[in-house]
Homo-oligomer: A and B are copies of this chain.
Amino acid sequence: MSAPTHVRQTRPVSFTSVSIDDPFWSPRLEINRTRTLYHVYQMCQQTGRIDAFLLDWKPGKEPKPHYFWDSDVAKWVEAASYSLATHPDPDLKEKLDEVVAKIAGAQQPDGYLNIYFTVVEPEKRWTNLGMWHELYCAGHLFEAAVAHYQATGERTLLDCAIRYADYIDSVFGPQPGKRDGCPGHQEIELALVKLYRVTGERRYLHLSRFFLDQRGQKPSFFVREMERLSPEDAVLNRHFFQRGATYDTQYVQDHLPVWEQSDIVGHAVRATYMICGMIDAGLELGDKELIDAAYRLWKSACQRRMYVTGGIGSQRANEGFTSDYDLPNETAYAETCAAIGLVFWNHRMLHVQPDSRFADVMERALYNGVISGVSLDGERFFYENPLESRGDHHRQDWFGCSCCPPNIARLLASLGGYIYSEALDAIFVHLYIGGSARCRLGATDVTLRQESRYPWDGRIRLTLEPDRQASFDLALRIPGWCRSFKVTVNGQDASGMGSIHKGYLYLRRHWRRGDVVELELDMPVERVYAHPAVRQTAGCVALQRGPVVYCLEGVDNPFPLHQVALPPESRLEATFEPDLLGGVVTLQGEALLDEESGGDLYRTTPPARRPVRIKAVPYATWDNREPGPMRVWIREAR
């Protein structure tokens, strides 16, 4: 992609045009609508986050608003809006109306809208962009406003967002009389492009670009800002930026101008949101430098710094990246929000260029490291998603810094928007998720129905219903994990008819109503090996079938998991178990177990091994039964 080809202008088919009816996803989305959304609302309410918009906090009153509270509520508004767009729910609508009214009521006469810097420390507005999340909260408000408008047609929140964006645009920018700076936590960059797309106001696009451009300047904005702060106000800044006598602002991706960046560094969520903004602004502005940087960063993240689960950010200290191929399992941070950010990012990459590698990463994250973030009952969440646990890591119902629960809610509520793209003469199918989509190809409307038991089964049936006979490409993603497939059109072998380009099978013909395409992706159990440079998985394998990465859990495997070694020749059987974990395919087979014999801590004979049955379950479903140890990477006996 050194030279991205914009042969086709593709755009996502909006979630509002997609309905999902899928044995895997429908139950999860139902839980998201009926449990997670209500749970997040209740937690926001209980913790004071919603009523904080009433601005009645006074010194001494508990709880004191935190400067990231606005964003949790905004993400809930976004999630609830998406949900209402496809699933009307009067109770939820009432709650949404109430929250939107409270948010709108908190807007200041000048357009400013932030709880903390209105009631707690109003004198500190815009004084610590590096650490105090003010512009980040604004970005989430804009995303919420756009979603709310698109879902309900109501302008209340959108108008708030416009007034706030206009105000921010009056403060920041390159023009004389405006100030410099950019957010320590990226988010507003992508949000401003969303706001531009819905309003057509190009100032928002240019402000997004301004914030992107401010990053990585010499001298660093963040260092200059930090030096203006009092020692008390600069505690976090110094913690993250100061290295003895020198500074290092990699934590906020401020080491280089964004268009010069090649290695993904620092806080993982910040990085993914920034790159989403780079792609959005880059595509709108036709800026190839931004797009090329996004692709270099993609190679860094997805080819050298990503877990097999699609988790990114391997270290707790910076909630972020370390170095190439450094992927510890037990101490993996792999924040749920970062995997979500990776989905956002890869989905955008697909609209730079349809390349199945992007959809592969999106799918890897989605089926593994994203949905691991929420329990099957929808009310407990992982912040961190390690790939190995000694039994002490469990989901919680909320967090002090609770970005992940509403983030997963908004992604799932808009999942339909990630499945298809449309172009003038093509429909792209990125994900195999059952349901139907209304696509618009030039003058032709096409309804596409998808049926499958994916990810448990590789057979997918697509029925096309163009409103008139039309010639276009149906571009089906051939996943990277699939080494062999068959395709038929109306029952006839169609292998010869299609051509594969960058991982998509393009089937071109005059499509008629009722044409049926059947795709059969071979989906054996695979042993996955990491690049040999990953020292933490040397000698180990992960088990994967289709897009689903597996793990061993103590509840199924009552022996120390690190003592299991899988012989190369051992066969693993895949079995669908309808009553387990909501219905999953499990993998079972024979392995060897190092036996404990004698008490010597060190000995000169290797441990004896005995055969043992092992059973693996999808990684995303772990910690939904008895608490216990878990392990993704299994030693291989070779």
Contacts and interface: CB of A to CB of B under 8 A. Distances in A.
Interface of A: 302-304, 306, 308, 483, 526-535, 538-539, 541-542, 560, 562-563, 565, 568, 594-596, 599-607, 635-638
A524 B534 CA distance: 33
Nearest to A563: B532
Contact of A565 (B527, B539, B605): B539
Given A529-B605, A538-B594, A637-B638, 11 more contacts: A304-B601, A526-B604, A528-B603, A528-B604, A530-B601, A530-B602, A531-B602, A535-B562, A538-B562, A539-B539, A568-B606
Question: Which of A303, A526, A535, A596 lies at the interface centre, i.e. has the most chain B CB atoms within 10 A of its CB?
Answer: A535
B535 A604 contact: no
A532 B635 CA distance: 13
Contacts of A531: 596, 599-603
B604 A532 contact: no
A635 B530 contact: no
When all copies of this chain in the complex are counted, the total is 2
Contacts of A532: 560, 563, 594-596, 607
A607 B529 contact: yes
A532 to B, nearest CB: 4
A603 B303 CA distance: 11
A636 B560 contact: no
A314 B541 CA distance: 27
A529 B602 contact: yes
Given A303-B599, A535-B562, A565-B539, A529 B604 contact: yes
21 contacts: A302-B601, A303-B599, A306-B601, A527-B606, A528-B603, A529-B603, A529-B604, A529-B606, A530-B602, A531-B596, A531-B599, A531-B600, A531-B602, A532-B594, A532-B595, A533-B563, A535-B562, A538-B635, A539-B539, A542-B602, A637-B638
A568 B609 CA distance: 15
A541 B605 CA distance: 10
A560 B534 CA distance: 10
Max chain B Cβ within 10 angstroms of own Cβ: one of A595, A600, A602 = A602
Nearest to A535: B562
A600 to B, nearest CB: 7
A596 B638 contact: no
A531 B605 CA distance: 10
B526 A308 contact: no
A528 B602 CA distance: 6
